[in-house]
Amino acid sequence: MLEMSVQNPPTNFPGPIDPSVLYEQEQHISSAIWEGQDRGTLRCHEHTSKIDGWKLTKKQIDLVGKAGFGYFRLIGQVSLNNPLISALVERWRRETNTFHLPSGEITITLDEVVRILGLQVDGEAVVRDNSVVGSNTEICENLLGKAPNSDAKEIKGGMVKLGWLKENFSECPEDASNEEVERRTRAFLMYLVGSTIFATTSGNLVPLLYLPLFKDFDKAGNYAWGAAALAFLYRQLGKASMKSQGTISGSLTLLQCWSYFHLNIGRPELKQDLSHRFPLALHWKGRLNTQTKSDVVMYRQKLDSLDSSDVSFLALLFNLEVNIQNFIALQLMPWMIETDRLDSLQRFG
The predicted pLDDT at position 8 comes to 53
Question: 166, 54 in Cβ contact below 8 A?
Answer: yes
The predicted pLDDT at position 13 comes to 62
Write the single-letter amino acid at 50: K
Specify burial of residue 186 (Cβ count, 10 A radius: 0-12, 13-18, 19+): buried
Question: 117, 281 in Cβ contact below 8 A?
Answer: yes
The predicted pLDDT at position 326 comes to 53
Specify burial of residue 316 (Cβ count, 10 A radius: 0-12, 13-18, 19+): buried
The predicted pLDDT at position 227 comes to 98
User: Could you tell me the CA-to-CA distances from 94 to 91, 234, 235 in Å, in that order?
Assistant: 10, 8, 8
Q: What angle do CA 9, 12, 17 make, to 5 degrees?
A: 35
- Domain spans of the chain? 33-330
In what helix (H) or strand (E) does residue 237 lie, and over which residues does it extend? helix 225-240
Taking the C-alpha atoms of residue 22 and residue 28, their distance in angstroms, rounded to an integer, is 10
DSSP track, 90-135: HTEETTTTEEEETTEEE---HHHHHHHH----SSB-----TTS-S-
Question: 222, 124 in Cβ contact below 8 A?
Answer: yes
Residue 156 bridge partners (DSSP): 159
In what helix (H) or strand (E) does residue 324 lie, and over which residues does it extend? helix 320-329
User: How do 43-44 and 247-248 pair as beta strands?
Assistant: parallel
- Classify each residue of 140-151 as buried b or exposed e, where b means 16 or more C-beta atoms within 10 Å of its C-beta: bebbbbebbeee
The predicted pLDDT at position 290 comes to 53
Q: In what order do the strands lie in the sheet with 104-106?
A: 92-93, 98-101, 104-106
In what helix (H) or strand (E) does residue 159 lie, and over which residues does it extend? strand 159-161
3-state secondary structure of 92: strand
The predicted pLDDT at position 152 comes to 78
The predicted pLDDT at position 128 comes to 92
Measuring CA to CA, which residue among 141, 106, 152, 90 is closest to residue 261?
106
Per-residue pLDDT for the chain (349 aa), expressed as one digit of tens each?
Answer: 334 344 454 555 667 888 899 999 999 999 999 999 999 999 999 988 889 899 999 999 999 999 999 999 999 989 999 999 999 999 999 999 999 998 889 999 999 999 999 999 999 999 999 888 899 999 999 999 999 998 878 998 899 999 999 999 999 998 999 999 999 999 999 999 999 999 998 878 999 999 999 999 999 999 999 999 999 999 999 999 999 999 999 999 999 999 999 998 988 877 666 667 899 999 888 765 554 557 999 999 999 998 888 888 765 554 544 454 554 455 444 333 333 333 433 433 3
